[in-house]
Amino acid sequence: MPTPAGYRMPPAASRGPALLLALLLTAAAPGYPARAGESGPPLDSQRRAAALADIGKLHLELATAADNAAAITALKEAARLDPANIRARFWLGAAWLRSAGLGSGRAPDREMADRAGSEMEAVFRLAALQRSAESEDLRLRAIALLDQCAAELPAAEARFRPWWAARRAELVAGRNTVSLVHVVARGDTLQSIARRYYGDPDLAARIAGANPGADPRSLAPGQKLTVPGVRVEPPAPVPGVDAVDRDLLRQLTSSAPAAERRAAVARLATRECLMAVPALAGALRADESQWVRAECARALGVIGSTDAEPALAAALGADPWSGCRAEAARALARVGARGSLAGLTAALDDSSPQVAAAAARSLGALGLAESSGPLLGALGSRSEALRRAAAFALAELGRREALGAAERERLAALARRGPAAARAAALLAMGRLDPAGSEPLLREALEDEEAVRRGAAEGLALAAAAGHKPGAAAIEKLLRLAAPAGGADPATALAAAAAVARAGRGTPAGREGLLALAALLDEHRAVHWADAEEPEPVSAAAARLLGELTGARLPADRAGWTAWIEREHAK
């Protein structure tokens, strides 16, 4: 993302602070050229920009990929028409972050994150000058979003984190200063300009020193003066909420039926109302409905404010309903609550396997090296859900370079020997963590007992998904496990078929893998698959994989898929 030093302030307007905003940040976002000599966009352009900002925000609330693209189009046009429209700049930054993959579990895309950074920097500067309740709300939301982005980037990211750490400190402390360009109006003096920007006419010498060629006794209207060291401080007003958010908050705290309160919470989450965090945290602690409490935990995760961490940590440790505890565990990862390491680690021993698994996933998402030991221990759990979640979390720690050499060796040693269930989970982690290096170990484990074979087959499927093609010996063994007559456990057959179909695209082996997946469309037993939180029918997973690997959209019918594969992938 761009650094603060990379931004220059364009010429200011000559008719007061409101018009100064019109051209304040055109240089901060590429593609919005400054218009020399203008004092701001025409009124009809400002109105169009405001309407487009509302349209873009509505598209974002629908939360589909197509709507996100439509939002970006509308918001870019709004920012072009009126670069000082803080709402358009904030929601455009939020849309870029969503396109970058923020909150998806994968590292955000750098190019799109860079674009978002430009817009959020614009929000910070506009908020400092507008000093309104809305601009303060958007400034706080921008900080929360960039905090989340920092938490999700890999540890190897060397550019963003140092910049954001320094920039965040400036925003919190209010120490940031910028240089502005003032366009002289009739009657302006250096003293009046100093009073306007510094609050003290005696500081006129600063402006005189920055403009050595200007005659302070004869300032001409239209003349441009550099005003250095203007302090950008957090706005003074207390953040507010708009009418819709206010109605939703009133409904949350009312005696309305639980279903209505829950719907209000879901709507607040969709609107990403940062000012709703205190009310949501209070309802998470005290609402009598477990469904409302769980929805509050989910909403706090969507909003992503670190202010929600205490309430979420308390719910994880004490809420009587496992569903709410699980939602709290997930939300702690979304808000980047690194101070909740102890609570999430303790939740690995929760009586509910779903809560323990959610805690393991959150530990992986937070990327804290300190969690590697407890996660390695969780590979030996009696709960399959927890074992699998811990395996994927360890692989995520490895991706973030938070898994040390000693822990990697412990993981590999467990994959080679130990209880079958723990070995299977370790093999799963190895396939995702080191696709190429782990193939010999995974290939050998395909000859082991059933539980170990399944872990090895799924590890090879993950390796194939990461782009590593298993060798001929591994493919041969996988085909035997995937064959309908092989008698393998359906989860093992699914993993083996997926590995072969993915790695052998365009080859006879790949065709056999697709046929093996089609044969599983009649298998309705439920299994844990990939990193899904809940078991699903083998037939559903097989149908999804067939669609993904072939691009075809056929009914989940074994005969239909078999005929299509034999026709389209003839030997």
Query: 247 in a domain, yes or no?
Result: yes
Provide the pLDDT for residue 113: 75
Residue 366 lies in a domain: no
Task: Calculate the alpha carbon distances from 306 to 158, 275, 278, 294, 313 in Å.
Answer: 23, 13, 11, 18, 11
| One domain for residues 30 and 143 | yes
Q: Which of 195, 210, 232 is the last residue of a domain?
A: 232
Point out the domain boundary residue: 126, 146, 174.
174
Asked if the model's pLDDT at residue 30 lies above 50, the reply is no
Residues above pLDDT 90, as percent of the chain? 34
162 and 15, same domain (yes or no): yes
Is position 446 within any domain?
no
Question: 178: which strand partners?
Answer: 230
Percent of the chain with pLDDT over 70: 84
Long-range contacts of 338-347 (CB under 8 A, 24+ apart): 338/151, 338/366, 338/368, 339/309, 339/313, 340/309, 340/312, 340/313, 340/316, 341/366, 341/368, 341/370, 341/371, 343/313, 343/316, 343/317, 344/316, 344/371, 345/371, 345/374, 346/317, 347/316, 347/317
Please indicate, yes or no, if residue 467 is contained in any of the structural domains.
no
Burial 459-495 (b: 16+ CB within 10 A, else e): bbbbbbbeebbbeeebbebbbebbbeeeebbbbbbbb
Same domain assignment for residues 20 and 165:
yes
Residue 16 has pLDDT above 80, yes or no: no
Q: What is the pLDDT of residue 487?
A: 59
Residue 448 in any domain: the answer is no
Instruction: Evaluate whether residue 205 is within a structural domain.
Output: yes
Are residues 164 and 50 part of one domain? yes
Residue with token string 């949350």: 252
Considering the domain architecture, whether residues 149 and 45 belong to the same structural domain is answered as: yes
Q: Is 497 helix (H, G, I), strand (E, B) or coil?
A: helix
199 plus 251 within the same structural domain: no
pLDDT level of residue 66 (50, 70, 90 thresholds): confident
Within 10 Å of residue 322's Cβ, how many Cβ atoms?
18
Output 62 or 203, whichever has higher pLDDT. Answer: 203
Question: What pTM did the predictor assign?
Answer: 0.61
Does 116 share its domain with 158? Answer: yes
CA angle 489, 348, 362 (to 5 degrees): 90
Cβ contacts of 281 within 8 Å, gap of 6 or more: 296, 300, 307, 308, 310, 311
Q: How far apart are CA 406 and CA 417, in angstroms?
A: 17
Check whether residue 255 and residue 120 sit in a common domain. no
Residue 188's pLDDT is 86
Same domain, residue pair 141 and 215 = no
Per-residue pLDDT tens over the stretch 148-175: 777 776 655 556 667 677 777 766 655 4
* The pLDDT of residue 249: 87
Between 52-66, 297-311, 372-386, 404-418, the lowest mean confidence (pLDDT) is in: 52-66
Q: How far is Cα 316 from Cα 343, in angstroms, rounded to an integer? A: 7
Residue with tokens 């992503």: 304
112 lies in the same domain as 163:
yes
Count of domains in the chain? 4
pLDDT at 406: 92
Q: What is the mean pLDDT of the chain?
A: 82
CB atoms within 10 A of CB 238: 9
pLDDT at 545 over 80: yes
Whether residue 166 sits in one domain with residue 23: yes
Which domain, by its residues, includes 62?
4-174
> Which tens digit of pLDDT belongs to each residue from 342-381?
899 999 999 999 999 999 999 998 888 899 999 999 999 9
DSSP single-letter state for residue 382: S
pLDDT reported for residue 105: 60
Lowest-pLDDT range, 67-71, 259-263, 407-411? Answer: 67-71
Same domain (yes/no): 183, 170 = no
Residue 166 is predicted with a pLDDT of 73
Q: At which of 141, 156, 174 does a domain end?
A: 174
Query: 296: domain CATH number?
Result: 1.25.10.10
- For the stretch 186-226, pLDDT in tens is 888 998 888 877 777 888 888 998 898 888 888 888 888 88
Q: Is the pLDDT of residue 100 over 60?
A: yes
373: in domain = no
For residue 81, tell me if it sits in a domain.
yes
